[in-house]
Amino acid sequence: MSTAAPAIDTDRIRSLDAAHHWHPFTDTKALNAEGTRVIVKAEGSLLWDSKGNEILDGMAGLWCVNVGYGRKELAEAASRQMMALPYYNTFFKTTNVPATELAAKLAELTPDGLNYAFFANSGSEANDTIVRMVRHFWQLRGKPNKKTLISREFAYHGSTMIATSLGGMTAMHAQVDMPLPGFSHIRPPYFVRDGGNMTEEEFGIAAAQALEDRIQELGADTIAAFIAEPIQGAGGVIIPPASYFPEIQRICRNHDILFIVDEVITGFGRTGNWFASQTFDLQPDMMTLAKGLSSGYAPISAVMVGERVAKTLIEEGGEFYHGFTYSGHPVACAVALENLRIIEAEGLVERARSDTGPYLQDGLRSLADHPLVGEVRGVGMIGALELVKDKDGPVFFDPIGRVGTICRDHCFANNLVMRAVRDAMVCSPPLVITRPEIDRLVSTLKLC
């Protein structure tokens, strides 16, 4: 493969970008002062910018390009489907073959009982859909006061008004007077920060107790559901102690509160199983999926609905007044199906579990002695280094986030994409990343 980037007038693109392109989650003034990097092509785990620099993508785009870049099979699947049926809606008593096949495939792959797939275009829309479904469910069950959804601080469930309210990102809340009523947040199981003198096991139980306390405070008859990312991704790759989720699930069952997992990041092999629900032995009532569902090659998301909720909504709910023009989009579904075929055919889940996953974790752990590294954590193909001022304590940096940003920018200047969440350096590379590429990731990080 030639690594030469196509001829691009970088200065022209940058100046048009500064004048017209409003980037998501970006300080536009700061970006315009600095100038954006123009990414022009990609292959495997590598990106190239318009100046010809080769960049290792330690984040799989935004935690999504699980099968890696440059997959001709996916382009061909999209092209075939566009020629056969580029679009038709799934609203008015019609379906299309890829949407139906994909729903059936997801029912097969996801944990038992999640037999229905409702399609949307993004993780945010999938989580909006969840909120409507669970509130409607409790109405139909004769408990209309069960409306509130409990989630966690640092949770990221998307960027619509509902998904932002569901999430626990205070900076997002502060800008727009959020969260909306009906959402409540408890602390996450963030051991390195909040564990104190407890063992991980003790801390997991204590962190789950926050759910019990909040239920007691608000009243179980007002709580519709608890939602969690099995590993909080954008929150800083917060891995729950083993004792956490069994306790959370017990509390949900005790109080008849639906248990929902957001597997938008953790799905499709990231943790070494198809879903993190399998890694952490979770039995969710509902699950949201996106990102790795199509490896980012087409916008698509799904809500997987378990038997209990589906039965009530389908048998008693009448028309569900919710959906999107592109729900079950035939091209996105065809791409997702082909993507799942690749993950299966190439054993990428197994690879994350027992080959490059452990290799990545070992590589990250080799940095544990670095004076700035307070904790190394990760599972499969997702990991984080928590940077601290002093390993003893540990003592965190003040202000939070400055050192993380410096380190992330250093990596980017050295052609490695990592992400900084507060002062945690996080990575989530394509599942196809090779061992030499992992070595490169670790050695670039080490130079920080």
Residues that bind ligand PLP (CB under 6 A): 62, 122-124, 127, 156-159, 229, 233-234, 262, 264-265, 290
Indicate the residue among 164 and 444 with the shorter CB distance to ligand PLP.
164
Indicate the residue among 125 and 247 with the shorter CB distance to ligand PLP.
125
Closest CB 118 distance from ligand PLP, rounded Å: 15
Closest CB 64 distance from ligand PLP, rounded Å: 8
Closest residue by Cα to residue 98 from 108, 110, 86 = 86
Indicate the residue among 62 and 198 with the shorter CB distance to ligand PLP.
62
Closest CB 158 distance from ligand PLP, rounded Å: 4
Other Cβ atoms within 10 Å of 173 Cβ, number: 17
Indicate the residue among 373 and 425 with the shorter CB distance to ligand PLP.
425
φ/ψ (deg, to 5) at 23: -80, 145
Indicate the residue among 156 and 396 with the shorter CB distance to ligand PLP.
156
Neighbouring residues of 259: CB distance < 8 A, sequence distance ≥ 6: 225, 226, 248, 249, 252, 253, 282, 283, 284, 285
Closest CB 259 distance from ligand PLP, rounded Å: 16
Closest CB 161 distance from ligand PLP, rounded Å: 12
Host H or E run for residue 171: helix 170-175
How many whole angstroms separate alpha carbon 382 and alpha carbon 370? 20
Q: Pairing mode, if any, of strands 258-262 and 286-289? A: parallel
Indicate the residue among 96 and 127 with the shorter CB distance to ligand PLP.
127
How many whole angstroms separate alpha carbon 149 and alpha carbon 157? 12
Q: Is the dihedral of CA 73, 79, 83, 87 positive or negative?
A: positive
Closest residue by Cα to residue 101 from 354, 359, 336 = 336
Q: Is the dihedral of CA 429, 238, 424, 187 positive or negative?
A: positive
Indicate the residue among 152 and 440 with the shorter CB distance to ligand PLP.
152
> Given the structure tokens 């960049």, which residue do they identify?
55
Closest CB 262 distance from ligand PLP, rounded Å: 5
Residue nearest to ligand PLP (CB): 123
Closest CB 325 distance from ligand PLP, rounded Å: 16
How many whole angstroms separate alpha carbon 301 and alpha carbon 139? 25
